[in-house]
A and B are shown apart, each in its own frame.
Chain A
Amino acid sequence: MINQVSQLIQNKKLLIHRQFPPHVAARIPVSKNQSLSPVQIVAQSSKEMGYEHIPIAKMLDVKPDDVEEHLKVSVGDQVRMGSILAERKRLIGRSAKVTSPVEGTVGELINGTLYITRLPDDLNLRALIKGSLSHVIPGKGVAIQAYGSSFPVVWSNGSEGYGELAIIAKSSDSPLSSEDLSTHLYRKVIVVGHLADESLLTQLAEAEIAGLICGTCSATVFQRAKALEFPIVLTDGAGKGGMFEPIYRILSENIGNHTALYNGQYEIHKRPRVVMLNPDIEPTDAESPRRDADIQLKKGQTVRLLAGNLRGKKGVVQKVHAWPQLTQGGARHMGVDVTFDNGETVFVAAANLDIIL
């Protein structure tokens, strides 16, 4: 069984899907061949926003049972922010008024408290990248066409964003230190090989970076990164190994380019990915290479190891075993012999390989 396939696309025509899951109905506010900016909303869906409760009896200083006679609205009325909900006239002085703090629909009056259902808020999917609309997926979302490079990552903290790409890592596996943060990082997507110190995340947040592309990180950084607002993606997972060399190379070639971090929730394959635009590519109709539906391991195939001491290292398949082989765990698994860049050849179970296309 093959664990995963990663397609690294370099300087080609890209197709980026932005679509809601099947059970969510979406509105598409853009049309075909329209030019898109990164902030352009390409699909919208409504999100129920709950309600506001207004303790009218307390605010008017009346008994709960007496509130109804002071009400100026009834159930089902639409109110705007500031609309008068209830008023109590006094013999002397100004009358006491209660106004709506939100825009919504008047709900029930229970025990002197009035409920107003807030208007549903829109959940917006933005393009995050400059491109043109390739086609509309009716009721779901859109596909955006752009030119540049792209690769999938193994984890995202769920946030999305975009900015200019900057590499502050000394190498693909060097850990980030506070000295590396001295450069101007405002609104940039930062690349680091390894992140072990969780306090650096605070510094990055204070520097208002647009996003972070990290090779590997420590367990404590991982747990902290989940709660951060700015987008963080990991290309290789937890550990100390650093970034997969071919991915680091692609990033190095795109310094200064517009880069978008997608969290994968709105993609077809549900896998987060990084997209970098290349303004130097001539627009062409040639499609980027498509993945075969059934990819088999074969001799000469480039792979990345997902487990073991050489985790995250690139290798080439030397031999495909026809029969299950014994692993160090004592079980037999189907797999291949892989020669890594350091010259070492080891048997690897097929499930532990990421096929690099």
Chain B
Amino acid sequence: MIKETSQETEQPEIKPVTTCLLLEISERTTTALLIKNVIGYSRLVSRAHVPSTHKQPENNALTGVFAAIRKLEKLSNQTLFNSEGDLILHTRQPGRGVDKFLISVSVGGLLKTMVVAPSINDPAVESAVHLLQRFPSKLERVLTGNGNVDPIENAAWMVENKPDFVFVVGSDANNRTIRSQIVQAAETIGIGIRQFSDANRPDVLYAASGHWVDAVETALNLGKPLKTAPNLRPDARHEHVKPARKLIEDLMSKNLLAGIPGLPELMRWFGEMPFSRNEGLAIFGRYQAALANGPVLIMDLDSNGLTMVFAKPKFTDLIVRPDLGIGTNLSDVESIIDIEQLAQWLPYDMGSAEARDSLRTHLINRSLFPSVIPQTANEFELDLVMLQGLIRQGVIDALSAWGLEEDQPLTLSRLFVRGDLLKMTGNHENLVRVLFNALQLQGECELYTDTHNAMALLGQLLEVEPTIAVDVIESDALQCLGWLVGVSGRGRRDREAVGIEIIPVNNQQNSKQSAHKILWGKTNYVSLSNSSGVHHALLRTKRRLGFASTTKIENIEGLTARVWVDARGRPIILPDDRSAQWEQSSSKA
């Protein structure tokens, strides 16, 4: 528990929250952010990044946490620790302590999972797989009791592989055959689970039909009541995800977080369970989707994997793909991604076999040295193609979960990017190129980057202190890079695909009206003035090229933003000149 000094803890409830300390422990970096009230507005005033210390040689996550807070103390001139080394909370003295303290964690291994269902065709299987993708988990096997697979063999497999978690699902059909199938499957895994000692047994969560719970409990014969959640997928049209999700989160905390060196001590020091980074991202996504009144995508690509939050008003989906991370499993990524197709995106002309081999070698070395920075232009291009492939695969696999067809172009209102993806792409041009190639966006969307690692923490803050969180989000805590415009439809090479008109407002000096033509088959960007109050209008040409409206007017406040246009059509066809770089239409409008 965080200790407070006696004179500083008087009447802590009366004082409104003005100062917040937010802390995120990720696989590589521990980030500390300080939010303070500055002349009536909450602002992100300081941030500190230190290497995470939950692995060797330090082997204690707390070391990195203290180092990050100490660094923040120095940078912000805010005293955060008292003389006894405890965090100062609820102080009334300016420049001392914080009113709110949040910790978010995104480290830990993968939860080995197994889904048990009456049959593979049961709609509940799809829901279970989808739900498990929201967590850093690895689905080892789907076990069914419909006689397609030898149950004894399955039980033996279970003993050999020992999953951390067994998820029993099945839709609500009032059918004796289905009942006997799930009971048979439960009997099989019961034999497997009982081979382990009580302390080592996998956790079982039952989220199938309520009619069968007693029969399944008897078949499992584990000597204790089953952990149950309402039926995940009672029928093809309904899905109850939340209760099961909450129980799986608890299991995650128990199984994964508790095993991270220093995390149990951190939990005792913090006084409660740290938040999950993914939950913070999901809240942030929901807020942004409501604000934009349209679909929003958050992407975080790092050594842990690819995390995506897709949110629309009244719909949020979180997907974690640990198999698509920039880490040790990159050397196995060939089983997921078609390397030959990916090699076609390399911007130089070489034999297919050579390009493929070069990419394979690069992926292996990336898995051995994940922190290495590309030393040559060739390595850099290989890195970009690799990033593009990982994101593309993650998005294609997720499209059905987001209610989209595979050949349907993705349309977004806002796109948020964070993680190693930002560092590895080097500059904004490369980042946008990777995003265009991987997402194949259509229409117009705003692009934001989370350079301060603040997004997940601000998501958590939205839950507990929404006024402060909104204040900080609106004060450019995230960097807006401008607008991405993806042009679809048919066009002719080197003919105008889209026109952009920049219209200054309020008769600003040094700003003038300008118009730009973007040619079909090209990628181009238009820089907008960094003076405030510039309007820009996107005008369609005679052809209908995928814009919902003829004119789009946006306000840009004090930013150097660009309108990035990809006029290569959808789906993107590889350019003849693969090394074509971004062209700049105008440096200053």
Contacts and interface: CB of A to CB of B under 8 A. Distances in A.
A154 B369 CA distance: 9
B195 interface: yes
A352 B383 CA distance: 15
A50 interface: yes
B5 to A, nearest CB: 33
A48 interface: yes
Interface string A303-332: 001111101000000000000000111110
Contacts of B261: 22
Contacts of B369: 3-4, 154, 237, 306-307
Contact of B373 (A108, A239, A268, A307): A307
B339 to A, nearest CB: 9
B372 A51 contact: no
A306 B427 contact: no
Contacts of A4: 369
B372 A110 contact: no
Contact of A113 (B152, B194, B200, B377): B152
Contacts of A329: 373-374, 377, 380, 383, 426, 430
B373, B374, B383 — most chain A CB neighbours (10 Å): B373
B426 A50 contact: no
A306 B362 CA distance: 12
Interface in B76-98: none
Interface in A243-290: 268-270
Contacts of B423: 331
Nearest to B162: A48
Given A154-B368, A218-B357, A219-B360, A328 B375 contact: yes
A230 interface: no
A4 B371 CA distance: 10
B365 A270 contact: no
Contacts, number: 119
Nearest to A52: B156
A4 B383 CA distance: 20
B6 interface: no
B375 A327 contact: yes
A352 B426 contact: no
Nearest to A305: B375
A129 interface: no
Given A110-B187, A307-B373, A329-B426, A237 B365 contact: yes
Interface residues of A, number: 46
Contact of B56 (A48, A117, A270, A307): A270
Nearest to B159: A50
B585 interface: no
A110 B374 contact: no
A42 B344 CA distance: 52
A48 B196 contact: yes
B555 interface: no
A239 B376 CA distance: 15
Contacts of B57: 268-269, 293
Nearest to A267: B56
Contact of B380 (A1, A219, A309, A328): A328
B365 A352 contact: no
Interface of A: 1, 3-4, 22-23, 48, 50-51, 53, 107-108, 110, 113, 115, 117, 154-155, 218-220, 222-223, 234, 237-239, 268-270, 293, 305-309, 311, 327-331, 333, 348-349, 351-352
28 contacts: A1-B371, A3-B369, A4-B369, A50-B159, A51-B159, A51-B191, A51-B195, A110-B191, A219-B361, A222-B364, A237-B368, A237-B369, A238-B361, A238-B364, A307-B369, A307-B375, A307-B376, A307-B379, A308-B375, A308-B376, A327-B373, A327-B426, A328-B375, A328-B376, A329-B373, A330-B427, A348-B375, A352-B375
